[in-house]
Amino acid sequence: MLNKYPLWKNLLVVFITLFGFIYAIPNLYPDDPAVQITAAKAGVETGQNVADTALQALQQAGVVVKGDELANKSALIRFPDAEAQIRAQSVVKDALQTRFPGQYVVALNLAPTTPDWLRSLGASPMKLGLDLRGGVHFLMEVDMDRALDTRIGNTVGAMRERFREEGVFAKLLRKAADAPVIEMTFASAEKAEQARTILRKEYRDFLIEESTVGDDIQLKLTFTEQALRDIQDYAVDQNLTSIRNRVNELGVSEPVVARQGINRIVIQLPGVQDTAEAKRTIGKAANLEFRMVDWEHDIMNVTRPPVGTEIHTVRNSPRQVLLKKENIVTGENVIDARPNYDQNGQPMVSVTLDNAGGKRMLRTTTAHVKDSMAVLFIESKPETREIIENGQKTFKTVTRDFKEAISVATIQGAFGSNFQITGLDSYDEAKELALLMRAGALAAPMYFVEERTVGPSLGAQNIEAGLKSLVVGFVLVMGFMVVYYKLFGVLANLALLMNVLLLVACMSLIPGATLSLPGMAGIVLTVGMAVDANVLIFERIKEELRNGVSPQMAIHSGYDRAFLTILDANITTLLVGLILFALGSGPVKGFAVTLSLGILTSMFTAIVGTRAIVNLIYGGRTVKKLSV
């Protein structure tokens, strides 16, 4: 028994150690908290004069600056800590707003300090979770019931029109009171059959159920499974896009906006402390409806709204308007709305609708030139109530609507997908209206179901506590291993160091892996458990030696026979890691990742890594005694 590794195995160990070193080193260069100044208009460079204005303001406010640079068309100012960074953001924002109103965006950022040669190899530090870095985590839920309701409402309007065009007269066509169902009744079987033909051809999203009510034939339309899924996906995706836009307005670097599960959206804003503002900007759950102002009645002459109309208030005005209940298009059809000036320099909002919306708008406006149209803004606010369900108390969140007209304007001529709303008092008003309209483009209302805010000082404390326990745990375990296993203990410790190195390197390399506080705990736990493999091997070697086997043979069979046990024992922990990953939200997922990765890297370092060194020391010669 020679116990020699072939050259390639030794090279593999050397190579992997080197790899670990290179990709773990960037963690010694933590990112600087910084603020980034970029021009609001794309393509415009941020000049030295802007940076100077910012630096001057910071000096006056007594904020310590670590450095500044101009790069990638923007200015970056670095700070020694996160608290200075947050103060700086508001100072710089104010200063730039006074000198260059509306021209620059000031965002929190992290500036890398990793040396260039490492960065050119793609090495960067681990991403820190919000619990270590400070910031806000939101979880929002899309109100699917409402998304379906809106969809049904829109469909009913369109259907009625199609039937009219085809000369199919329904006695009744409406949305059922409290379910996403469309009900329609026809006086004759012939009419019903005509309706069915249209429905089958043009409304494939529905299942049709026919029944007879008295002399009438009733059709009940419910969504197909596929349609329900599509609507859900569409609503969540649309909201995702809107929220991304809103988050960008907040000026945060590396925000996370992602779908979670069927109907939730997770939002992470590193560094953000003003949660109230963030929530206001993100949480604006709103919708829009374009409706005709009733042209048959004057609101001054009615005491009660006539059939098919509603009375609504007008934003920022004591006026009220009488609106038709049916909408022409909704926020779902709005692709874009932005403030602008017309040829005469008057403020206006340019609106773009999608194809379907444009067609309906054209049809309506052609028939109603010189009548008025209103934009109704609907804000949904969630309310949680305790209800008794199946004898158990549970909470249910329902949304309530607050509606007001944000614009009432006369139709000057027929228009379709592109039109302007003019007659606004100021550019600010145009800006607000456009913002509201864009906000209203959400497909379904959303509400917050979870919020976690961690202050920057707590983040720093958590890092310190995690590191301290890691170092202390490490030193204790290493000391113990040397005392108990002597030279072999030193080898196990080398493997342990290499293990942490590899673990850190993997965490830094894997995109999307973030280090959280439980993740750090996972690393600490790995340190304690990783020596297990070596303990198993060393105990086997000792045992073989006791049985009178030669040292070389003892090494060989020790590694050999312990291998299966190690594998067996580690698979259970890996299985648990998998379950944890599936269960976990944020931080717990971090624990699952470090624990599982740690098991994998420790198998390599404890078995292959130590064996390489053992072979170097003892391999290929006669050995009388092992220091184990």
Partner 1 sequence: MKTLNFRFMKYRKLLGGLSILLVLGSIVSLSTQFLALGLDFTGGTQIEVEYSKPADLEAVRGVLKQSPYASATVQHFGRSEEVLVRVPPIEGEDKDKVGDNVVTLLQQLDPEVKKKRVEFVGPQVGEELRDKSGLALLIAMGMMLIYITLRFQFKFALSGVVALFHDVIITLGFFSVFRLQFDLTAMAAILAVIGYSLNDTIVVFDRVRENFRKMRAGTPEEIIDGSLNQTLSRTLMTSFTTLLVVFALAALGGELIFGFAIALIVGIGVGTYSSIYVASNLLLVQNISREDFLEKAEVVDDMP
Which H/E stretch holds residue 19?
helix 7-24
Which H/E stretch holds residue 626?
none
Contacts of 579 (CB under 8 A, 6+ apart): none
- Write the burial class of residue 300 (CB in 10 Å: 0-12 exposed, 13-18 middle, 19+ buried): exposed
- Can residue 453 be called a binding residue for partner 1 (CB under 8 A)? yes
Dig out the tokens for 183 from the structure: 């009900």
- Can residue 258 be called a binding residue for partner 1 (CB under 8 A)? no
Using CB under 8 A, which of 18, 369, 579, 627 touches partner 1?
579
For the CB of residue 206, give the shortest distance to partner 1 in the complex, in Å.
30
As a whole number of angstroms, the distance between CA 307 and CA 309 comes to 6
Q: Which of residues 517-576 bind partner 1 (CB under 8 A)?
A: 517-518, 521, 524-525, 527-529, 531-532, 535-536, 539, 542-543, 546, 564-565, 568-576
For the CB of residue 440, give the shortest distance to partner 1 in the complex, in Å.
20
For the CB of residue 509, give the shortest distance to partner 1 in the complex, in Å.
24
Q: Which of residues 105-134 bind partner 1 (CB under 8 A)?
A: 131
- Can residue 403 be called a binding residue for partner 1 (CB under 8 A)? no
Kindly give the interhelix angle for 225-250 and 275-283, rounded to the nearest 10 degrees: 140
Dig out the tokens for 173 from the structure: 């066509």
For the CB of residue 36, give the shortest distance to partner 1 in the complex, in Å.
25
Closer to partner 1 by CB, 357 or 587: give it. 587
- Can residue 437 be called a binding residue for partner 1 (CB under 8 A)? no
Closer to partner 1 by CB, 74 or 570: give it. 570
As a whole number of angstroms, the distance between CA 434 and CA 73 comes to 28
Closer to partner 1 by CB, 75 or 477: give it. 477
Q: How many residues does the chain have?
A: 628
- Can residue 627 be called a binding residue for partner 1 (CB under 8 A)? no
Instruction: Tell me if 63 sits within 8 A of 77, measured CB to CB.
Output: no
As a whole number of angstroms, the distance between CA 479 and CA 536 comes to 18
Piece of 98-106, 116-124, 272-280, 303-311 that binds partner 1 (CB under 8 A): 272-280
Closer to partner 1 by CB, 252 or 353: give it. 252
- If one counts every other C-beta atom within 10 angstroms of the C-beta of residue 438, the result is 22
Instruction: Tell me if 74 sits within 8 A of 46, measured CB to CB.
Output: yes
Instruction: Tell me if 408 sits within 8 A of 372, measured CB to CB.
Output: yes
- Can residue 449 be called a binding residue for partner 1 (CB under 8 A)? yes
Closer to partner 1 by CB, 115 or 528: give it. 528
**Beta partners for residue 208, in sequence order:** 221
Piece of 242-250, 290-298, 425-433, 447-455 that binds partner 1 (CB under 8 A): 447-455
- Can residue 585 be called a binding residue for partner 1 (CB under 8 A)? yes
Dig out the tokens for 80 from the structure: 């020694």
For the CB of residue 450, give the shortest distance to partner 1 in the complex, in Å.
5
For the CB of residue 225, give the shortest distance to partner 1 in the complex, in Å.
23
Size of the site for partner 1 (CB under 8 A): 81
Which H/E stretch holds residue 173?
strand 172-175
Using CB under 8 A, which of 142, 595, 597, 613 touches partner 1?
595
**Beta partners for residue 75, in sequence order:** 37, 70
Using CB under 8 A, which of 125, 135, 255, 587 touches partner 1?
587
Using CB under 8 A, which of 28, 42, 177, 276 touches partner 1?
276
Q: Is the dihedral of CA 460, 463, 469, 470 positive or negative?
A: negative
- Can residue 384 be called a binding residue for partner 1 (CB under 8 A)? yes
Closer to partner 1 by CB, 365 or 516: give it. 516
Using CB under 8 A, which of 224, 248, 461, 627 touches partner 1?
461
DSSP characters over 76-136: EEE-SSHHHHHHHHHHHHHHHHHHSTTTEEEEEEEE----HHHHTTT--PPEEPHHHH-EE
Q: Which of residues 128-187 bind partner 1 (CB under 8 A)?
A: 131, 139, 141
Closer to partner 1 by CB, 381 or 621: give it. 381
